[in-house]
Amino acid sequence: MAAKSLYSCMRSAQTTLFVSGSCTLRSLLPSSVTCVQQVRHRRYPAFIVRPSIRKPWHVRKWTTKSDGDLIASNEAFVKDVLIDKYTGVGKVESPLKDGPWERNPFVHGTRRTGVLALKLGTTEQYTKEGNVFTVTLLQVLDNHVINYVPPEVYATYPSHRPHQGEKFGLQIVGALSCDPRMFSKAYNNLFMKAGVPPKRWLTRFLITPNAAVQPGTPLCVNHFRVGDHVDVQSRTRDWGFQGVIKRWGMKGMPASHGVTKSHRKMGSTGGGGDKGGIWRGKHMPGIMGNRLSVQHNLKIWRINTKYNILYVTGPAIAGLPHTFVRVSDTLIPTRRIKEEDAGNLPMPTWYPEDETEPIPEELFDEQLFRFTDPSVEITS
């Protein structure tokens, strides 16, 4: 709790800074946080560049250190050692050796972990009636569970939100194994317990404790069923600093008729009188994109188990191809997985030992047209 209280007092100190402007140091301390004078307009800094605001508990990821100029044979030897370390005989200690964790049935209110996928692009599919629609392909590539944090531990974390209570734990999932030499020591240490190579991307899912997955477990596309609905979260394309026409779709001003130097400007910023001044939230130029966007309630139409592909409805998943997306069971109440439908749901995730028969390469939704079928004949 110590870390949390310290963080909260830091935050309050910072907010005071903006309120009281140039103040003495004494007033920053938690003992004298009371702000006496009311301030009309909150002062904002000239620049807030979002990506520079790092969470204090994040460790540095990349490293600039390198082995120098290794000759080709030495480089190959180091690579062989690394591969052997994670896949071969001298494998690192994996927590899976201790035997699997207890598996619980799916009950009402259970939240399972999600997966990290790569957006590949969009294509078209047809329904059995011959109607065309767009699908996005998501590849679940090289996913592993890195850690599980139980709810009582998560409640002491600075990132914990009080309204969540002690209901949810954290499941940390990583994707795309990399050469550990790319990363800093602190980042590599995060993967020691799980016994997997360091991952290019890490994320966390809020889960209920009955759906916890053991660290070191690989996740694959069979975690989901065809016909279920998922929520997909990804970052939008980064456009950098953009003007109002591109960022907010404003009209600008005419190209001629006496207009000079303001063809792409925004015009008026507000009215006068009692409610005068620039209102908060006024659409202005600034950094556009690179923010999280969620698409709720997307149906899984088709699954390819060979290449680990999900065919998800719609073209609306944000980002260019090869963006990382977080895919998890939908939270929309009407589409959420119900206890009575959860008979063949992999819980907490899919294990290859569960399958008695080899799983088919492709799984289709009932309403989806398969290209091996004959043409659609309309009779009625």
Partner 1 sequence: MSLRLLVCIPSRFGCLSCQHDSTCSCDAAKKTHHVINYQRTQTEILQALRPKSNFLLSNVVDKHRLSPLQQGTEAVAVETETTAPRDYRFVMPEFLPNADYRYRDRVLEKLERQDMLRRRAVIDIPEFYVGSIMAVCVSDPHAPGKRNRFVGICIDRSGQGLRAHFVLRNVVDGLGVEVMYKMYNPTVLSVEVLKLEKRLDDQLYYLRNCPLEYSTFDFNMDPVILPRGSQVPVNPIKVKLNPKPWEYRWERFNLKGIEPISLTPKMIKGIEKSAEPWRQNDLMMMYRSQVHEEEETEIMAEVYKEKHRIDSQKKTSRAAQRKNK
Q: List 253's β-bridge partners, or say none.
A: none
Q: Which two tokens stand for residue 168?
A: 């949810």
CA 217 to chain centre: 19
Is the CA virtual torsion 81, 85, 86, 88 positive or negative? positive
Question: Binding pattern to partner 1, positions 176-215, x when CB under 8 A?
Answer: xxx------------------x--x---------------
The site string for partner 1 over 316-355 (x = CB under 8 A, - otherwise) reads ---xxxxx--------------------------------
Give the interface segment with partner 1, choosing from 67-75, 103-111, 114-122, 330-338 (CB under 8 A): 114-122
Q: How far is the CB of 79 from partner 1 (least distance, A)?
A: 9
Among 7-15, 166-174, 276-284, 336-344, the segment contacting partner 1 (CB under 8 A): 7-15
Site string for partner 1, 142-171 (x = CB under 8 A): x-----------------------------
Q: Which amino acid is at 242?
A: Q
62 sits near partner 1 (criterion: CB under 8 A): no
Looking at beta carbons only, is 45 or 162 nearer to partner 1?
45
The interface region with partner 1, picked from 137-145, 263-271, 329-337, 343-351 by CB under 8 A, is 137-145
Only one of the segments 97-105, 119-127, 248-256, 328-336 lies at the binding site for partner 1 (rule: CB under 8 A); that segment is 119-127
Shortest distance, CB of residue 379 to partner 1, whole angstroms?
A: 7
Part in contact with partner 1 (CB under 8 A); list of ranges 34-42, 160-168, 269-277, 304-312: 304-312
Determine which residue in the list 1, 36, 53, 255 makes contact with partner 1, applying CB under 8 A.
53
- List binders of partner 1 among 63-82 (CB under 8 A): 82
Measured CA distances, 35 to 24, 32, 290 (Å): 13, 8, 35
Sign of the alpha-carbon torsion through 243, 247, 251, 255: positive
Are residues 244 and 265 in contact, defined by beta-carbon separation less than 8 angstroms?
Answer: yes
Pick the binder of partner 1 from 46, 71, 72, 255 (CB under 8 A).
Answer: 46
3-state per-residue secondary structure call for 47-65 = CCCHHHCCCCCCCCCECCC
The residue type found at 339 is E
- Name, in order, each residue with C-beta under 8 angstroms of 221's C-beta and a sequence gap of 6 or more: 115, 140, 303, 304, 305, 308, 309, 310
> Is the Cβ of residue 1 or residue 46 nearer to partner 1 in the bound state?
46
Distance separating alpha carbons of residues 116 and 247, to the nearest angstrom? 29
130 binds partner 1 (CB under 8 A): yes
Q: Which of 110, 113, 125, 313 binds partner 1 (CB under 8 A)?
A: 125
170 phi and psi angles, rounded to 5 deg: -110, 135
Whole-angstrom distance, CA of residue 245 vs CA of residue 173: 39
Q: Which stretch binds partner 1 (CB under 8 A): 109-117, 118-126, 160-168, 262-270?
A: 118-126
Q: According to the binding rule CB under 8 A, does residue 102 interact with partner 1?
A: no
Instruction: Restricting to residues 226-255, name those near partner 1 by CB under 8 A.
Output: 235, 237-241
Identify which range of 41-49, 61-69, 181-189, 342-350 contacts partner 1 by CB under 8 A. Answer: 41-49
How many residues sit in the footprint of partner 1 (CB under 8 A)?
A: 75
Cβ proximity to partner 1: between 56 and 272 the closer is 56
Asked whether position 25 contacts partner 1 by CB under 8 A, the answer is yes
Name, in order, each residue with C-beta under 8 angstroms of 123's C-beta and a sequence gap of 6 or more: 134, 135, 137
> Nearer to partner 1 by C-beta: 101 or 126?
126
- What contacts 240, CB < 8 A, 6 or more positions away? 287, 288, 289
Structure tokens given for 368: 């989806």
Task: Note whether 8 and 15 are within 8 A (CB).
Answer: no
Residue type, 59: V
Residue whose CB is less far from partner 1, 172 or 309: 309
CA distances to 336, 342, 345 from 339, in Å: 10, 5, 10
Q: How far is the CB of 206 from partner 1 (least distance, A)?
A: 23
Among 289, 293, 342, 351, binds partner 1 (CB under 8 A): 289
Question: If phi over 0 gives left and psi between -120 and 50 gives alpha, with beta otherwise, what is residue 252?
Answer: left
Question: Do β-strands 218-219 and 143-149 pair in parallel, antiparallel, or remain unpaired?
Answer: antiparallel
Shortest CB 94 distance to partner 1, Å? 13
